[in-house]
Amino acid sequence: MTGLPVRPAFADAGEAADLAAFLARLIHYDRAAAVRLQARADGGTEQSLAVFGRPPSFEVLAVRSARLAAPVELDITVSAGELLESIDEQGATATVPAAVTGPPWAGLLPPRSGWRQLPGLPSPEALHSAVAAVVAEFRARTEELPADRRTRAELDRIGREIWTRPVGDTALPVRAAHAAQSLGFLRPVRVTVPDLSDGTGAGHPGPYTLLGAGSWLRLRTPYGSTVVRAASALGGLSVTPA
């Protein structure tokens, strides 16, 4: 990027605050976190900034979409910390930092279109209960390990067994729901807000929706999405360029 800094203006202070909260959660899991930003001035009535991150503890992509007051053209990978520091919540603006050399995932994102709704996702209450149950199970099983067996390999083995379990009657691994909860995406819904990060502009038929596109699975909520490749850890994916 050259010339003057890009300063996207958000639709309101709430959009700026929610994006700041998302970035802060990413930094909690990775102080050096990078995010990829995408926005397209395509002439639509609703413009948005899509922010992609990858919290390392969960092996998922996280997507937060912030509504904009005016269209901008943007596609850049930046430091999450620098972007967070630039956000003016009262003024509902931010300054896009200088580009950084992004991690491999930042150059390979899920498709923007072609998503379809999939059946089998539990109710919001059941989804929250399922996440709470597996978190409790992971803690109990790791705490029961004798000191000589509490190795990284053993903890990883227990984690793989638990976090790869499917959610309800779907192929979505429970780690995607756990990540959504940890990132603040499974909050009670204030209002129905459109999520434009997949490029479709489709609203939400319910609080949480499971979508599929090829081998990608996406848990979408009004506050953001977590995305995984079906039956695979994100780190080992062959992915489709954005």
At 95-125, the pLDDT tens digits run 999 999 989 999 889 998 999 999 999 999 9
Helices (H), 106-227: 124-143, 152-163, 174-182
More confident: 191 or 42: 42
On whether the CB atoms of residues 220 and 110 are closer than 8 A, the answer is no
- 193-234 per-position pLDDT tens digit: 444 444 433 344 458 999 999 989 999 999 999 999 875 434
**Predicted confidence band at 84 (pLDDT cuts at 50, 70, 90)?**
very high
Q: Per the structure block, which two tokens stand in for 134? A: 């597996």
Confidence of residue 189 (pLDDT cuts 50, 70, 90): low
State the pLDDT at residue 212. 96
182: nearest Cα among 155, 163, 196: 163
Q: Which amino acid is at 159?
A: G
Give pLDDT, residue 205.
45
Whether the predicted pLDDT of 44 surpasses 70: no
Calculate ∠ Cα 134-140-145, nearest 5°. 130
Cβ neighbours, 10 Å, residue 100: 16
Q: What whole-number distance in Å separates Cα of residue 15 and Cα of residue 142?
A: 39
Query: What does pTM read for this prediction?
Result: 0.83
The Cα 134–Cα 99 span in angstroms is: 38
- CA dihedral over 71, 74, 79, 82, signed as positive or negative: negative
Which DSSP string corresponds to 15-70? Answer: HHHHHHHHHHHHHHH-TT-EEEEEE---S-SS-EEEEEE--TTTT-EEEEEEEBSS
Query: How do residues 164-182 score in pLDDT, each as one tens digit?
Result: 999 999 999 999 999 999 9
Compute the distance between CA of residue 155 and CA of residue 142 in angstroms, rounded to an integer: 7
Distance CA 86, CA 80 (A): 10
Q: Give the pLDDT score at 239.
A: 30
| pLDDT over 70 at 241, yes or no | no
Task: Catalogue all structural domains in the chain, each as residue range(s) with its CATH number.
Answer: 13-107 (3.10.150), 116-236 (no CATH)
Give the model's pLDDT for residue 5: 82
Q: Is 192's pLDDT higher than 90?
A: no
Q: What percent of the chain has pLDDT over 70?
A: 83
For residue 206, the model assigns a pLDDT of: 58
| Tokens, residue 30 | 């990775």
> Residue 24 is encoded by which pair of tokens?
């802060």
pLDDT at 102: 81
Containing H/E element for 82?
Answer: helix 80-86
Q: What is the mean pLDDT of residues 7-18?
A: 95
Q: What percent of the chain shows pLDDT beyond 90?
A: 71
Predicted local confidence at residue 237, as pLDDT: 35
Picking from 144, 179, 139, the residue whose alpha carbon sits closest to that of residue 159 is 139
